[in-house]
Amino acid sequence: MYELINKVKELNPLVLHYTNNVTITDCANMTLAIGASPLMSFSYEEVEDMVSVASAVVINIGTMNSSYLDLFVKAGKAANKYNKPVVLDPVGVFASKARGELTNKLLNEVNFTVVRGNISEIKFIGGLDVAGKGVDSFDDGSDASEIVKAVAKKLNCTVVASGITDLVSDGEKVYKIFNGTAKLKKITGTGCMSSSLIASFLPCTDKPIEAAFMGTLSMSLSGELADITKPAVGTFKTYLFDNIDTLDVETFEKYAKVEL
């Protein structure tokens, strides 16, 4: 599966983002670093034009914005219409009624290929009691494989729960990723960037679970490698992008700690 890292650089897929204002620059740079092309829009007028030429679409509700609520739904529906793989990142879905309602609407009106969140967000979507703070997750480290699998089955798509152990499931299989570092939570947007990476891999395979796995692993592994010398957060962020940029099959083979 690791050769997908070559495929993404070869295909250079166009990843269209309807996303938040906090991590939009980092998501663009992350998409470029892995070998894909980012495109961001907040325009109702060009949804059809943009989705029809995109290779994949990301919808990320991170900074809820009253002006974009309908835009995100429109973009998701267009992705379905044009048969484009589409990723939902329900940032902070548990944090407000409005986020819950928007996420609900999106899940009801759009067939997502992948839903990616932290473990609190995924549990919330699955209808469980969750503990979260703002848009951040509470992760006690306990095994949530069965929960993620159940949510994937319920949503009928691939689900990724980022956490101390990352879990990726299509409702049948569960892939586990043990790479990572707590420092990934010390910079903003590593979750959003993972969604961009997953979307970058989606056009490279007909198995969404593989793209979800590769995107998630790319972030956790690069974070781990960026943290080897224990840099402070400014330097860590720079190294994170460096490590995404230089990822190759050999790096995955040497350092990946996964359970398939």
Nearest CB to a second copy, comparing residues 5 and 159: 5
Nearest CB to a second copy, comparing residues 102 and 177: 102
Is 116 labeled as ligand-binding?
Answer: yes
Q: Is 188 one of the binding residues for a second copy (CB under 8 A)?
A: yes
d(CA 201, CA 54): 13
Is 64 labeled as ligand-binding?
Answer: no
Q: Is 217 one of the binding residues for a second copy (CB under 8 A)?
A: no
Nearest CB to a second copy, comparing residues 97 and 254: 97
Is 219 labeled as ligand-binding?
Answer: no
Considering only 238, 248, 255, 259, the residue that binds a second copy (CB under 8 A) is 238
Per-residue binding letters, 33-62, with a second copy (x by CB under 8 A): x---xxxxxxxxxx--xx--xx-------x
Long-range contacts of 46-49 (CB under 8 A, 24+ apart): 47/71, 47/74, 47/75, 47/78, 48/78
- In DSSP notation, 192-243 reads HHHHHHHHHHGGG-S-HHHHHHHHHHHHHHHHHHHTTT---HHHHHHHHHHH
With tokens 């529906």, the residue in question is 77
Q: Is 98 one of the binding residues for a second copy (CB under 8 A)?
A: yes
Q: Is 142 one of the binding residues for a second copy (CB under 8 A)?
A: no
Asked if 94 and 132 count as a contact pair (C-beta separation under 8 A), the reply is yes
d(CA 11, CA 14): 9
Considering only 2, 9, 11, 63, the residue that binds a second copy (CB under 8 A) is 63
d(CA 178, CA 55): 29
180 SS3 class: coil
Please count the residues of the chain: 260
Binding-site residue positions for ATP:
116, 162
Annotated binding-site residue numbers? 40, 116, 162, 189
Residues that bind a second copy (CB under 8 A): 12, 14, 16, 20-26, 28-29, 32-33, 37-46, 49-50, 53-54, 62-67, 71, 92, 95-99, 133-136, 185-189, 231-235, 237-246
